[in-house]
Amino acid sequence: MKAHTRETQATMTPEKALQYLKEGNQRFQNNLKANRNLLEQVNDTSEGQFPFATILSCIDSRVSAELVFDQGLGDIFSIRIAGNFVNEDILGSMEFACKLAGTKLLVVLGHTSCGAVKGACDHARLGNLTALINKIEPAVEAVKEPADESLRNSKNLEFVDKVAEKNVHLTIGNIRKDSPVLTEMETKGEIKVVGAMYDVSNGEVIFYD
């Protein structure tokens, strides 16, 4: 499989880009990698890159977007931060990726058993991590069940995963609220913004589209 070119990127639509990721995740789950010569892709992309998707995901070592979607060099922009939330710098990166570099799909990818989300559920406090946890805690507050405080912590994995899902949706809301550039592109149909959840137990990505 060749690296994307200006021509192949130009033929891409948001819907087609989403389908590419879904098909890539199916290959990943079935351990059927696309046939790629990565060194050849290094050469093919040496003078330019034409990715079709931008993916915001967690730094978790089990959730490499290139691997779980079976993509090669030059295929996707990968933005990673613990808890997959957005700030001004990340939004700027997304605007570059979509408006200037031409990606057609923006994915916010959460995952099950997320350590950052567990920290938010427990209201962890540690150095600079405290500020990061604060950005995820609105998702904890937005999940109303269970009401029993003794069950609203990292030991309750069902609660943790509900918070992780809510965090994805809140992040998408923040993208639309804080980036007029991306919101305008989405309104015009130039890009699609979707949420997704990766299951660390089986490798499956569920899209919220």
Binding-site annotation: residue ranges for Zn(2+): 58, 60, 111, 114
In this structure, the chain runs to a length of 209
What are the φ/ψ torsions at residue 164 (nearest 5 degrees)? -60, -40
Could you give the CA distance from residue 88 to residue 120 in angstroms, rounded to a whole number? Answer: 21
CA of residue 181 relative to chain centroid, distance: 19
Rounded alpha-carbon distances, angstroms, from residue 49 to 53, 65, 98, 163, 168? 12, 17, 13, 35, 27
Could you give the CA distance from residue 152 to residue 143 in angstroms, rounded to a whole number? Answer: 9
Binding-site positions: 58, 60, 111, 114
**C-alpha closest to that of 117 among 78, 80, 165:** 165
136 with 117: CB under 8 angstroms? yes
